[in-house]
């Protein structure tokens, strides 16, 4: 069984789109029923946000049936020859010098049909072209609208005809992250090129005034943005940006947008949009993951002809089952970076023997932003001496990049673009890139520590093996975290691997190391680089991991010990950075040995006086006294990427 899951027999095909499209693209349909359960908060959101969807609904209950058509259109070019999609859009997609695509993916073909009947939710594997799946029909709907006025950028066009206005927005695409919003806008502009359809962005972290000016000057038909900035711009009466003719609202990574962090903004945006009872609108939600709770809410609040397009066939393995995945148990957290380095070196060595292999291009995910920063700094420092002189890097000319919320938006954009272009590289990342980001040719996704939930694991893994390419997934865990990890993800095809990475099992608390020459060399390379990483980065990485590690270990005493080993035998500090006793009490760890507790509102800075490197006696950068921000650091991983 596969397919489009339909919850109603009724299907209102929109008048603006040729009916033939609906029939020619019709996929196999399955009617479906499942028990409705309560989820009041999310239900309220959808109910308030999308009143026309709230007539949910006994009609949605039907016995499963199948209905197949074999003449579905699958080639982009046929959309042009049959006059279904604007010829310029099809040319942009198929032209080898532009996007160069030929055959539609399943989600694209199905969405084209189903959107016409009021599709609300589409689920398809990561990397299967969902972006184009929602852009194509959205743009065609805009173009089909008789009131649509294309922007004429030609130099001979009369001045008045060259722009549309900032209040002409027909479609709004909301994305949970800035990078994803930018990526969608880039793809939208490529698809719309030459059609006169104006695409604009409203993305947090960029200059609001400059962005606004661009929208005001050039006008806008399709606005892509992040929830906060969209709310900001749409609620500013002086901006002139509005959407009285909005006909399409798209939530990309819908399950993430519908989780609690974004509710306030989504509700506020909803209030700024026209009443969907008066201005007919489609609401589309796309994601590779649709957790039960989201499905229940959508189902409970949908309109009668709600459709659920699910292109994950039961006889076909989704990406997260198809990609080979290995779990490596680390002897301690201090082993994590040596293991990442060894993995990269091993791959490079294999590639020397087999030049057919693609260059190593990996994303390494951590749960705390400060860990990302520490890992990137360490790998970066392997390419320089203590006084900053370049030396050969153990990984050669590989690009080392980082991306997370502590960077400015322009730094984040540079990192994302550099990694997109890199042939060989490592991107150390927080979950800011976990969803939707389309970096070409990623060979490895490495997750250090357990991801916060199953969806996060699947989306992170989905950064590799995209568009039918191959890839591999690795998860590096401390033994104390394995039980919780296994409970969350045990049903996925994760193979424990205790052989590939020698450094993972080395007891780094021993002096001297008892390890093979190659493992000793790799650990030493990390330790040497670590000596040049500032104390402050190490302190933040330690504090940033406290809350998360304590939550993911079954035994808190073991978690404290693991962190102590990590800072002393991995970071090379003589003792853990100080934390306030009150903080330790709040975390329920104050009675365990290994912590460096300070009293009062400011820490004693005991570590400050003794921060010389344990490995060499050489000092990391001078520490600063600190007492502030510990809680913020700890919860950073939960509140921001
Ligand atoms: N019909 C197609 N044929 C070949 N490649 C395609 C096709 N459609 C899209 N692609 C390419 O597939 C890649 C993944 O597309 P996209 O980013 O839209 O995937 P996605 O399903 O949104 O993934 P995610 O679930 O991670 O958000 C892109 O590089 C895109 O250009």
Which 3 state secondary structure label does DSSP give 134? helix
The model carries a pTM of: 0.81
For residue 277, the model assigns a pLDDT of 76
For residue 388, the model assigns a pLDDT of 77
Gap from CA of 624 to ligand 1 centroid (Å):
46
Strands 222-225 and 361-365: unpaired
Looking at beta carbons, which pairs linking 23-27 to residues 24 or more positions away fall under 8 Å? Answer: 23/69, 24/71, 24/72, 24/73, 24/82, 24/84, 25/72, 25/73, 25/109, 25/110, 25/112, 25/113, 26/69, 26/72, 26/113, 27/3, 27/69, 27/72, 27/106, 27/109, 27/110, 27/113, 27/114
Pick the atom of ligand 1 nearest to 131's CA: 18
Gap from CA of 461 to ligand 1 centroid (Å):
15
pLDDT in tens, 116-134: 555 567 888 888 899 999 9
Q: Are 543 and 571 in contact (CB under 8 A)?
A: no
Range 533-543 average pLDDT:
96
User: Rounded to an integer, what distance in angstroms lies between the CA atom of residue 626 and that of residue 601?
Assistant: 10
Pick the atom of ligand 1 nearest to 104's CA: 1
For residue 115, the model assigns a pLDDT of 62
Residue nearest to atom 3 of ligand 1 (CA): 101
Record the tokens describing residue 515, joined without a space.
Answer: 């390890």
Residue nearest to atom 20 of ligand 1 (CA): 127
In a mutational test of the pocket of ligand 1, which residue from 128, 137, 441, 460 has the highest number of ligand atoms less than 8 Å from its CB?
A: 128
Gap from CA of 436 to ligand 1 centroid (Å):
9
Q: How deeply is 408 buried, as exposed, middle or buried, from its count of CB atoms within 10 A (0-12, 13-18, 19+)? A: exposed
User: Rounded to an integer, what distance in angstroms lies between the CA atom of residue 613 and that of residue 345?
Assistant: 26
Residue nearest to atom 8 of ligand 1 (CA): 129
pLDDT confidence bin for 24, thresholds 50/70/90: very low
Pick the residue with more confidence: 593 or 329? 329
Gap from CA of 233 to ligand 1 centroid (Å):
29
pLDDT confidence bin for 396, thresholds 50/70/90: very high
Q: What is the 3-state composition of the chain as percent helix, strand, coil, each rounded to the nearest 5?
A: 45, 15, 45
pLDDT confidence bin for 305, thresholds 50/70/90: low
User: Rounded to an integer, what distance in angstroms lies between the CA atom of residue 370 and that of residue 475?
Assistant: 19
Pick the atom of ligand 1 nearest to 132's CA: 18
pLDDT confidence bin for 383, thresholds 50/70/90: confident
Gap from CA of 304 to ligand 1 centroid (Å):
30
Phi-psi region of 355 (alpha: psi -120 to 50; beta: other; left: phi over 0): alpha
- Which residues, other chains included, contact 126 with Cβ-Cβ below 8 Å and sequence gap of 6+? 288, 319, 320, 458, 459, 461, 462, 463, 466
Secondary structure in 3-state letters for 268-302: HHHHHCCCCCCCCCEEEEEECCCCHHHHHHHHHHC
User: Rounded to an integer, what distance in angstroms lies between the CA atom of residue 149 and that of residue 89?
Assistant: 16
User: Rounded to an integer, what distance in angstroms lies between the CA atom of residue 114 and that of residue 108?
Assistant: 10
User: Rounded to an integer, what distance in angstroms lies between the CA atom of residue 14 and that of residue 12?
Assistant: 6
The lowest-confidence range among 14-28, 233-247, 626-640 is: 14-28
Record the tokens describing residue 367, joined without a space.
Answer: 């749960």
Residue nearest to atom 4 of ligand 1 (CA): 101
Gap from CA of 107 to ligand 1 centroid (Å):
10
For residue 283, the model assigns a pLDDT of 82
Residue nearest to atom 15 of ligand 1 (CA): 129
The lowest-confidence range among 500-509, 532-541, 549-558 is: 549-558
Gap from CA of 200 to ligand 1 centroid (Å):
21
pLDDT confidence bin for 10, thresholds 50/70/90: very low
Residue nearest to atom 30 of ligand 1 (CA): 129
Q: Are 517 and 542 in contact (CB under 8 A)?
A: no
Pick the atom of ligand 1 nearest to 437's CA: 26
For residue 600, the model assigns a pLDDT of 59
pLDDT in tens, 74-118: 899 999 998 889 999 999 999 999 999 999 998 898 888 766 555
The percentage of residues in the chain with a pLDDT greater than 70, rounded to a whole number, is 76
Range 34-38 average pLDDT:
26
> Is the pLDDT score of 611 beyond 80?
no
For residue 304, the model assigns a pLDDT of 55
The lowest-confidence range among 5-9, 223-227, 461-465 is: 5-9
Gap from CA of 560 to ligand 1 centroid (Å):
43
The lowest-confidence range among 56-65, 233-242, 319-328 is: 56-65
| Highest-scoring range by mean pLDDT, 238-242, 338-342, 452-456 | 338-342
Pick the residue with more confidence: 17 or 162? 162
Pick the residue with more confidence: 566 or 64? 566
Gap from CA of 84 to ligand 1 centroid (Å):
21
> Is the pLDDT score of 613 beyond 90?
no
Pick the atom of ligand 1 nearest to 99's CA: 31
For residue 107, the model assigns a pLDDT of 87
pLDDT confidence bin for 594, thresholds 50/70/90: confident
For residue 208, the model assigns a pLDDT of 87
For residue 205, the model assigns a pLDDT of 86
Which 3 state secondary structure label does DSSP give 441? coil
Gap from CA of 104 to ligand 1 centroid (Å):
10
Gap from CA of 133 to ligand 1 centroid (Å):
9
For residue 297, the model assigns a pLDDT of 66
The percentage of residues in the chain with a pLDDT greater than 90, rounded to a whole number, is 52
Range 44-58 average pLDDT:
30
Residue nearest to atom 5 of ligand 1 (CA): 467
Residue nearest to atom 16 of ligand 1 (CA): 129
Gap from CA of 206 to ligand 1 centroid (Å):
26
pLDDT confidence bin for 431, thresholds 50/70/90: very high
pLDDT confidence bin for 53, thresholds 50/70/90: very low
Question: For residue 638, which of 538, 551, 564 has the smallest C-alpha distance?
Answer: 551
> Is the pLDDT score of 616 beyond 90?
no
For residue 604, the model assigns a pLDDT of 37
Residue nearest to atom 1 of ligand 1 (CA): 104
> Is the pLDDT score of 511 beyond 80?
yes
Residue nearest to atom 18 of ligand 1 (CA): 129
In a mutational test of the pocket of ligand 1, which residue from 127, 180, 473 has the highest number of ligand atoms less than 8 Å from its CB?
A: 127
Pick the atom of ligand 1 nearest to 124's CA: 21
User: Rounded to an integer, what distance in angstroms lies between the CA atom of residue 55 and that of residue 184?
Assistant: 31
Gap from CA of 172 to ligand 1 centroid (Å):
20
pLDDT confidence bin for 524, thresholds 50/70/90: very high
Domains and CATH numbers, the chain: 21-149+244-310 (3.40.50), 319-640 (3.40.50.300)
Q: Which residues line ligand 1 (CB under 6 A)?
A: 101, 103-105, 108, 124, 126-132, 288, 436, 438, 462, 466-467
* Strand ranges for 425-530 from DSSP E: 425-429, 444-448, 472-478, 494-496
Residue nearest to atom 29 of ligand 1 (CA): 438
For residue 245, the model assigns a pLDDT of 92
Residue nearest to atom 9 of ligand 1 (CA): 129
User: Rounded to an integer, what distance in angstroms lies between the CA atom of residue 104 and that of residue 73?
Assistant: 8
pLDDT in tens, 146-205: 899 888 765 454 554 545 788 899 999 999 999 999 999 999 999 999 999 999 999 998
Looking at every residue in the chain, the average pLDDT score rounds to 80
Pick the atom of ligand 1 nearest to 105's CA: 1
For residue 312, the model assigns a pLDDT of 64
Pick the residue with more confidence: 306 or 21? 306
Range 500-514 average pLDDT:
94
Pick the atom of ligand 1 nearest to 438's CA: 17
Q: How many CA atoms lie within 13 A of 128 on its CB side?
A: 23
């Amino acid at each position: 069984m596969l397919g489009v899951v339909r919850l109603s027999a009724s299907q209102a095909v929109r008048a603006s789109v040729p009916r033939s499209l609906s029939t020619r693209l019709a996929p196999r349909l399955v009617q479906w029923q499942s028990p409705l359960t309560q989820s009041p908060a999310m239900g309220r959101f959808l109910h308030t946000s999308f009143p026309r969807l709230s007539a949910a609904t006994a009609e949605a209950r039907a016995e499963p049936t199948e209905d197949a058509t074999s003449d579905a259109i699958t080639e982009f070019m046929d959309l042009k020859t049959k006059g279904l999609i604007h010829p310029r859009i099809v040319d942009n997609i198929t032209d080898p010098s532009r996007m160069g695509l030929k055959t539609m993916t399943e989600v694209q073909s199905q969405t084209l049909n189903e959107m016409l009947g009021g599709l609300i939710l589409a689920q398809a594997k990561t990397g299967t072209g969902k972006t184009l799946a929602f852009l194509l029909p959205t743009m065609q709907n805009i173009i089909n609208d008789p009131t649509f006025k294309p922007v004429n950028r030609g130099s001979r066009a009369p001045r008045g005809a060259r722009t549309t206005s900032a209040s002409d927005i027909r479609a709004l695409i909301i994305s949970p992250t800035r990078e994803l919003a930018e990526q969608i806008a880039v793809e939208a502009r490529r698809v719309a090129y030459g059609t006169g359809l104006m695409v604009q962005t409203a993305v947090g972290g960029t200059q609001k005034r400059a962005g606004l000016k661009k929208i005001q000057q050039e006008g806008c038909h399709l606005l892509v943005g992040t929830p906060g900035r969209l709310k900001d711009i749409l609620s500013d009466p002086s901006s002139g940006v509005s959407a009285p003719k909005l006909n399409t609202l798209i939530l990309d990574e819908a399950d993430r947008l519908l989780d609690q962090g974004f509710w306030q903004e989504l509700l506020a945006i909803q209030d700024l949009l026209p009443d969907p009872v008066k201005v007919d609108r489609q609401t589309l939600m796309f994601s590779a993951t649709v957790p039960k709770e989201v499905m229940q809410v959508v189902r409970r609040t949908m309109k009668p002809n709600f459709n659920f397009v699910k292109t994950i066939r039961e006889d076909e393995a989704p990406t997260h089952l198809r990609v080979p995945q290995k779990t490596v148990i680390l002897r301690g957290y201090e082993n994590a970076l040596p293991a990442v380095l060894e993995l990269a070196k091993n791959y490079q060595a294999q590639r020397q023997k087999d030049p057919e292999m693609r260059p190593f291009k990996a994303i390494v995910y951590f749960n705390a932003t400060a860990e990302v920063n520490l890992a990137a700094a360490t790998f970066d420092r392997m390419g320089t001496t203590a006084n900053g002189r370049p030396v050969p890097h153990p990984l050669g000319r590989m690009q080392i990049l980082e991306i997370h919320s502590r960077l400015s938006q322009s730094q984040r954009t540079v990192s994302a673009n550099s990694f997109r272009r890199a042939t060989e590289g490592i991107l150390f990342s927080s979950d800011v890139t976990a969803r939707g980001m389309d970096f070409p040719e990623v060979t490895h996704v490495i997750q250090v520590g357990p991801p916060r939930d199953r969806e996060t694991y699947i989306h992170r893994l989905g950064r590799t093996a995209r568009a039918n390419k191959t890839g591999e997934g690795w998860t590096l865990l401390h033994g104390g975290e394995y039980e919780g990890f296994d409970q969350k993800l045990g049903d996925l095809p994760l193979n424990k691997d205790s052989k590939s990475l020698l450094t993972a099992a080395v007891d780094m608390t021993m002096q001297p190391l008892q390890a093979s020459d190659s493992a000793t060399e790799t650990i030493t390379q990390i330790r040497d680089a670590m000596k040049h990483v500032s104390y402050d980065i190490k302190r933040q990485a330690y504090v940033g991991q406290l809350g998360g590690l304590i939550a993911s270990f079954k035994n808190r005493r073991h978690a404290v010990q693991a962190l102590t080993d990590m800072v002393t035998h991995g970071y090379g500090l003589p003792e853990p950075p100080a934390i306030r006793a009150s903080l330790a009490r709040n975390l329920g760890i104050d009675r365990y040995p290994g912590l460096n507790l300070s009293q009062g509102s400011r820490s004693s800075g005991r570590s400050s006086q003794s921060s010389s490197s344990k490995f060499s006696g050489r000092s990391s950068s001078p520490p600063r006294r600190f007492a502030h921000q510990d809680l913020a650091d700890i919860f950073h991983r939960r509140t921001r990427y």
